[in-house]
Amino acid sequence: MLLQRLIDELGHSSFRETHQWSIDHPAEFWQLAWGELGIVGDPGSSPSVVEGFHDTQWFPRASLNVVETLLAGGSDDEVMVALDEEGTRRSYTRGQLRHEVAACAAALVQAGVTPGDRVAAWMPHVPETVIFALGALCVGAIVSTASTDFGPGALVDRFGQIEPVVLLATASSRYAGKDTQHGSVLEEVLRHIPSIHTLVVAHGDGQGISFEQWLAPHRGSRLSPVPLPFDHPGFILFSSGTTGKPKCIVHRAAGVLLKVLSEQGYHLDIRPGDRMLYATTCGWMMWNWLVMGLGRGATIVLVDGSPGYPDLSRLWSIAASEKLTFLGVSAALIDTWRKATLDPHQGGSLSALRTIASTGSPLSPEGFDWIAQAVSPDVVVASIAGGTDLCGCLVLGVATEVVRRGEITGPALGLDVGVVDDEGKDLPVGAEGELVCRTPFPSAPLYFWGDSEGARMRGAYFERFEGIWAHGDFATTTPSGGFVILGRVDATLNAKGVRIGTAEIYRVVLSLPEITDALAIAQPWDGDSRIVLFVVTDKELDEQLDSLIRQELRSQASPRHVPSLIVRAPEVPRTRSGKMTELAVADIVAGRTERDTSSLANPESLEWFRQWASSSPAP
């Protein structure tokens, strides 16, 4: 076990002692991790200078390309498997993957892509997306991905900000047995993003060149990753807040690689030869996280489509047939399995399975119990929490420690994570406060795209507490040194494990002439949360209007933006400056203590929400 070896090498008695050393000596820890985790490249002769989040310099003289680490190893090893809803299985050895990536890199160079250019993929969870991303990283381009459930408005809001020059898109996709053609969406995206000069289309005929035709002239090209500094940007991820367009978070490719491999290697005990699956889409940072598993020498298993099609046992059948050692899913899916009294063993033997990871929302104690009873008491349950902002975890499982139901086991190595009050002071065990991190880490964002002065980034993470990363989660610590995540501090929605910005909902809903105002919140519901959308309208909220709102959100944003409940309200609370106060309503609906509302121009509006919350049926 890699973590135990690290503890022993440092002469420590426990993970907790090693963790304390890692936050006391962050430069030394990450230098050690570079070597132990097998990062290919030159870390440089100058050590990292760790001087706060704004001034830290990670590996200032390093030279590397993450693709060399991700594709290191024997050519004949199976390293990627892809499965779709129809049961088609595609398999790639490392040698085959190298050939595909080399061809893609050469095609990108011929298309004029140079280091620092942005390329984008609007794709299903399939091998072509991985090949395209690795090819782009190989030549030093910056990669951004989105899943096929995003509508044209959401795509333009994201990709339009970063002006990609190449777009990989799919002509069609399948989800839950339903085929969707994407030609009209592509036309709209191309019309609104003129920077795209090369369109490559996978899975069907389209107006661009097919993926196979694009690669064909370059097959046989030599894989020659461009050496890059550690701080070279590699990924742009999007995180939505309550106002404006989604934030374009620029990450170092090398920083994400080092951080994620430390999580997978030390904390989750993912070993060379393991077989790992994370149920994700290309629009979630867990896609990037899964791809980094190649750097552990693991085989990554890509599952496209619905995890519940043709039935809820799909992932368990795959776990058996592919002999998975690691299965990652959302807490909401575990809860669905539990409520359905699913028998995971119906699909075959799960004897290879060592770890089940859960993220997206807090995993309930009952979820831990279900895994122990229905799967095996010997399977490690690793509840993890972090997010798009760091493309990794703040708190997660600890391979050398006992799993306790309802808890995330501990803080990530190298990160001084704690729970503080409104003044930034540490809270005692069991007290509710805000989750923070005091030490810089390699996957902290480089910057936000277009945020030349850094104001948006400072406001996102460091405005609450000077020099301390405020993650935006309510949490408590436990007597064992673990964590319990209680929900979001701000009004960003988290429903069924997916973060959704209210701004994206308002953009669609307020475009409807029938709607004069709207407010969306996440209501705690049945162990998770659901989106409730309040609308102000002069007409009745009848079945036809309700259906129209849902249809527009589904087509212009995504299915996950569609609320569970739409309610007509007389008005929404606003400050004197006209800013909507979602948090006041969220507190009322969640039954939390209401915060100061003295800045509201219409505080009387809250009384209607109090009455609605008191009469709303309990889950």
Question: For the segment 513-566, what is each residue's pLDDT rounded down to a tens digit?
Answer: 899 889 999 888 877 788 999 999 989 999 999 999 999 999 988 888 899 999
pLDDT of residue 499: 63
Beta strands in 331-409 (DSSP E): 355-359, 380-383, 385-387, 392-396
Closest CA to 335 of 353, 317, 361: 361
For residue 115, give the amino acid letter. P
pLDDT band at 71 (very low <50, low <70, confident <90, very high): very high
Residue 591 scores a pLDDT above 90: no
Query: Which segments of 283-421 does DSSP mark as H helices, in order?
Result: 285-291, 314-321, 331-339, 365-370
Torsion angle in degrees (nearest 10) through CA of 289, 295, 296, 301 = 60
Query: Which segments of 201-311 does DSSP mark as H helices, in order?
Result: 211-215, 253-262, 285-291
pLDDT band at 73 (very low <50, low <70, confident <90, very high): very high
* pLDDT: which is higher, 356 or 590: 356
Q: What is the mean pLDDT of the chain?
A: 92
Question: For the segment 303-345, what is each residue's pLDDT rounded down to a tens digit?
Answer: 999 999 999 999 999 999 999 999 999 887 888 898 889 999 9
Closest CA to 312 of 455, 203, 176, 188: 176
pLDDT of residue 200: 97
pLDDT of residue 577: 47
User: Is the Cα torsion angle 10, 14, 15, 20 positive or negative in sign?
Assistant: negative
| C-alpha separations of 481 from 156, 420, 429 in Å | 43, 15, 9
Instruction: Tell me what the mean pLDDT of segment 18-39 comes to.
Output: 97
95-104, 384-393, 610-619, range with greatest mean pLDDT: 95-104
Beta strands in 8-110 (DSSP E): 78-83, 89-93
Instruction: Tell me what the mean pLDDT of segment 368-396 comes to.
Output: 95
pLDDT of residue 272: 97
pLDDT of residue 495: 61
Greatest alpha-carbon span in the chain? 71
| pTM for the structure as a whole | 0.86
Q: What's the CA gap between 500 and 61, in Å, rounded?
A: 38
Q: What domains sit in the chain, N to C, each tagged with a CATH number?
A: 66-476 (3.40.50.12780), 493-615 (3.30.300.30)
205-214, 388-397, 505-514, range with greatest mean pLDDT: 388-397
pLDDT of residue 353: 98
Residue 618 scores a pLDDT above 60: no
Query: Which segments of 295-353 does DSSP mark as H helices, in order?
Result: 314-321, 331-339
| C-alpha separations of 218 from 121, 134, 213, 259, 320 in Å | 20, 15, 10, 33, 37
pLDDT of residue 5: 96
pLDDT of residue 240: 63
Q: What's the CA gap between 169 and 453, in Å, rounded?
A: 33
pLDDT of residue 491: 60
Query: What single DSSP character describes residue 232?
Result: -
Question: For the segment 194-208, what is each residue's pLDDT rounded down to a tens digit?
Answer: 999 999 999 877 688
pLDDT of residue 124: 95
DSSP assignment string, 562-580: S-SEEEE-S---BBTTS-B
Residue 114 scores a pLDDT above 60: yes
Q: What's the CA gap between 151 and 174, in Å, rounded?
A: 15
Instruction: Tell me what the mean pLDDT of segment 213-219 comes to.
Output: 97
Residue 441 scores a pLDDT above 80: yes
In angstroms, how far is the first alpha carbon of the chain from the final one?
43
Question: For the segment 224-261, what is each residue's pLDDT rounded down to a tens digit?
Answer: 999 999 999 999 999 865 456 788 999 999 999 999 99
Q: What's the CA gap between 163 and 156, in Å, rounded?
A: 10
Q: What's the CA gap between 422 and 425, in Å, rounded?
A: 7
Two tokens, residue 327: 């299965």
Strands 178-181, 172-175: pairing is: antiparallel
Question: For the segment 467-516, what is each residue's pLDDT rounded down to a tens digit?
Answer: 999 998 888 999 999 999 877 776 667 665 566 767 778 888 988 989 98
- Consecutive H or E run containing 608: helix 606-615
pLDDT of residue 597: 66
Q: What's the CA gap between 576 and 511, in Å, rounded?
A: 24
